[in-house]
């Protein structure tokens, strides 16, 4: 069975600080996808990034970066120079896939990390 753990329930930082949100996953499949979503106070789920299990390259997008380490089953998310607008709940999620890389569709989410950025 698949499982996603986000051990940090809440993180509070001051603007311009860097912050890393941790995500650890469990799966029996060798092929899977990992995701990060942002949920602002308005409630919608905003897609941030998707990685497949074959691609361990780290990714940077502006102030956001992701560190995928299969050896430790982790997919951590770092926000550099945080801003008040980054305040939200952040969810890590996992989708298992078959050997051909076709996702089964069901997303399993972690508990989420509440990030508060103070001015």
Partner 1 sequence: EPEVTQTPSHQVTQMGQEVILRCVPISNHLYFYWYRQILGQKVEFLVSFYNNEISEKSEIFDDQFSVERPDGSNFTLKIRSTKLEDSAMYFCASNDAGKAYEQYFGPGTRLTVT
Binding site for partner 1 (CB under 8 A): 33, 43-45, 47, 50, 52, 91, 93, 95, 97, 102-112
Q: CB-wise, 43 or 119, nearer to partner 1?
A: 43
Q: CB-wise, 19 or 93, nearer to partner 1?
A: 93
Q: CB-wise, 52 or 80, nearer to partner 1?
A: 52
Rounded to an integer, what distance in angstroms lies between the CA atom of residue 33 and that of residue 38? 17
Burial of 67 (0-12, 13-18, 19+ CB in 10 A): middle
Q: Closest approach of Cβ 21 to partner 1, in Å?
A: 14
Contact by Cβ (8 Å): 73, 25: yes
Cβ-based neighbours of 65, under 8 Å, separated by 6 or more: 58, 59, 77, 78, 80
Q: Closest approach of Cβ 100 to partner 1, in Å?
A: 10
Q: CB-wise, 57 or 119, nearer to partner 1?
A: 57
Q: Closest approach of Cβ 34 to partner 1, in Å?
A: 10
Cβ-based neighbours of 110, under 8 Å, separated by 6 or more: 4, 5, 6, 23, 91, 92, 93
Q: Closest approach of Cβ 111 to partner 1, in Å?
A: 5
């Amino acid at each position: 069975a698949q499982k996603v753990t986000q051990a940090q329930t809440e993180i509070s930082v001051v603007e311009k600080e860097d912050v890393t949100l941790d995500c650890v996953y469990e799966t029996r499949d060798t092929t899977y996808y990992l995701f990060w979503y942002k949920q602002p106070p308005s409630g919608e789920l905003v897609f941030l990034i998707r990685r497949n299990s074959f691609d361990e390259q780290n990714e940077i997008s502006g102030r956001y970066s992701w560190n995928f380490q299969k050896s430790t089953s982790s997919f951590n998310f770092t926000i550099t120079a945080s801003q008040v607008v980054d305040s939200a709940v952040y969810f890590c999620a996992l989708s298992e896939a078959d050997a051909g890389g076709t996702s089964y569709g069901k997303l399993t989410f972690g508990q989420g990390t509440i990030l508060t950025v103070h001015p």
